[in-house]
Amino acid sequence: MNKQKNASGFFTPGVAVSFALLLAVIVVSAFAPLFAPYDPTATDLTATLQAPSPQHILGTDQNGRDIFSRMLYGGRTTILGSLAIVIFSMLIGIPMGLVSGYFGGAVDKLMIRLTDIIVSFPTLLLAFIFVGVLGRGLKNSVLAIGIVYIPMTARLTRSLTLAEKNKGYVDALRTSGCPVIKILFLQILPNCLPTLSSQLTLDIGYAIIDLASMSFIGLGVQLPDCDWGAMLEESRNLIFTHPLSALAPGIAIAVTVISVNIFSDGVQRYIDPTRRKLKRSVLRHG
């Protein structure tokens, strides 16, 4: 009965539409070479700033490049980069949170102090500093943003571990002499995954915005490659004369992020309709 109620709360029209949009974005981005009619980096100065036509669905940019093709390839860079950010923060943040929450004491205090230092800075400002040290480029931007995301993931994992470690099944495992690493990763972590999966799904939306922001100011993707943020930067001076070149990547970012947020809310309701979602702002300042 509860599963049926949860399922009905999850499969709402909004969640269904958001899932369909996300699936479409992922598929066309992942298989960009199959869907893109042109090379996204090929320039044609005889065909600059063309209006949409059967040959160029979204027209061309100031260098004669096909906007639709660049949208597809740029989407692949944006989506994969955002996933890499979240995965990187998971690989480091989750073990940190598990160890900190389980052992407590000096280990916990050290982790809290380290995360306090990082979260005291605005996300993008700290990412700018890291990129300034590491150098420009997509890989360094992904690494920089991923480092900034680690404390939020670690704090969420820590709070969930604190709630789990005093339960009866953990006491029974300790008494039986079960190794700590098995308790953490085979018992406590699986019980934390539902909430972690919901929050980390939401983090993908934040990562898309942050990565696009890095590319917009020239610290992310470098020419001749592109992503949606770089496309926005290239076309910002054309917003009034040829708005489609700027609107297309802007709409793609907005639709994708909104879809991620709606889908994440649906996942959270399915997992536990009474559980309050942990907001990133709380994790940053809590």
87 vs 95: CA distance, rounded Å: 13
Cβ-contact 161, 188 below 8 angstroms: yes
Which run of H or E residues covers position 173? Answer: helix 168-175
Asked if residues 260 and 22 have their Cβ atoms less than 8 Å apart, the reply is yes
The reported pLDDT for the residue numbered 276 is: 44
Residue 249 has pLDDT above 60, yes or no: yes
The pair of structure tokens assigned to 99 is: 């160890």
pLDDT > 90 fraction of the chain, expressed in percent and rounded: 47
Where residue 280 falls among pLDDT bands split at 50, 70, 90? Answer: very low
Residues 188-218: tens digit of each pLDDT: 999 998 889 888 888 999 999 999 999 998 8
Helix (H, G, I), strand (E, B) or coil at 60: strand
Q: Say what the pLDDT of residue 131 is.
A: 87
* Per-residue pLDDT, 23: 92
pLDDT of residue 274: 52
Any domain includes 214: yes
Structural domain boundaries enclosing 200: 2-36+58-285
> Is 164 in contact with 192 (CB distance < 8 Å)?
yes
Question: What CA–CA distance (Å, rounded) separates 36 from 50?
Answer: 17
The answer, yes or no, to whether residue 281 has pLDDT greater than 60, is: no
Q: Tell me the per-residue pLDDT of 28-85, one tens digit each, with 9 for 90 and over.
A: 988 999 999 999 988 888 888 888 999 999 999 988 999 999 999 999 999 999 999 9
Separation between Cα atoms, residue 47 and residue 100, nearest integer Å: 59
CA pair distance 111, 275, nearest whole angstrom: 26
| CA-derived radius of gyration, the chain | 22
Report the distance separating Cα 96 and Cα 203, nearest Å: 18
Q: What is the pLDDT of residue 200?
A: 87
Question: pLDDT band for position 11 (50/70/90)?
Answer: low
Q: What is the mean pLDDT of the chain?
A: 86
Q: What is the mean pLDDT of residues 128-132?
A: 85
| CA 100-103-105 angle, 5° bins | 85
Buried b (16+ CB within 10 A) or exposed e, 55-68: ebebbbbeebbbbb
Residues 6 or more apart in contact with residue 60 via CB below 8 angstroms: 44, 47, 48, 49, 50, 66, 67
Domain assignment present for 31: yes
CATH number for the domain spanning 246: value is: 1.10.3720.10
Position 98 in a domain: yes
Tally of domains within the chain: 1
Give yes or no for residue 278 having a pLDDT over 90. no
Reported confidence tier of residue 272, pLDDT bands at 50, 70, 90: low
Domain presence at residue 49:
no
Q: In this structure, is residue 248 part of a structural domain?
A: yes
pLDDT tens-digit readout, 217-230: 888 888 888 899 99
52: amino acid identity, one letter = P
Confidence of residue 286 (pLDDT cuts 50, 70, 90): very low
Q: So what's the pLDDT on residue 285?
A: 43
Interatomic CA distance for residues 159 and 267, integer angstroms: 20
Tracing tokens 């704090």 back to the chain, one arrives at 155
Q: Angle formed by the axes of helices 13-30 and 67-103, to 10°?
A: 110
Report yes or no: 111 and 100 within 8 Å, Cβ to Cβ: yes
60 forms bridges with which residues in the sheet? 66
What confidence category does residue 128 fall into, taking pLDDT thresholds of 50, 70 and 90? confident
